[in-house]
Amino acid sequence: MKMDPSLIREMLLKLEAHPAGQALYRFEFKDRDEAEVMEHVQLLLDAKFVEGKVVRDGMGKPLRFVVKRMTLAGHQFLANAKNDTIWKKVLAQAREKGMSTSMVVINGLLEKAAQKYVGLDKT
């Protein structure tokens, strides 16, 4: 499975809109299968963007998940990724340069683009 940064962003946007203090047990996307969503929940956990757990069967297949809350790291990523103009520009920039779409690279590009957007980075 290939990581999809746009799915990560969509999930964080949905989580941000979810009522505070209530765990989330399901993300629904019309064009995504459940296994892909579950693996992306695990990526959110791995990146420490959310707190929660993916429950797996004895063979390691994900069965269900719970997301308890978005962490400060998740909120910071989303603050930079929320602006559609910045988001599209960063993804295009990464593709144009043939860069990996790792979360570290995307996060770095987002931070720099957001700073430039608000006038904090004059380069």
Alpha-carbon Rg for the chain, nearest whole angstrom, is: 15
Model confidence pLDDT, tens digit, residues 48-105 = 999 999 998 898 888 899 999 999 999 999 998 998 988 988 888 877 776 566 777 7
pLDDT of residue 31 exceeding 80, the answer is yes
Q: What does the block give as tokens for 117?
A: 């957007």
**pLDDT score, position 122:** 60
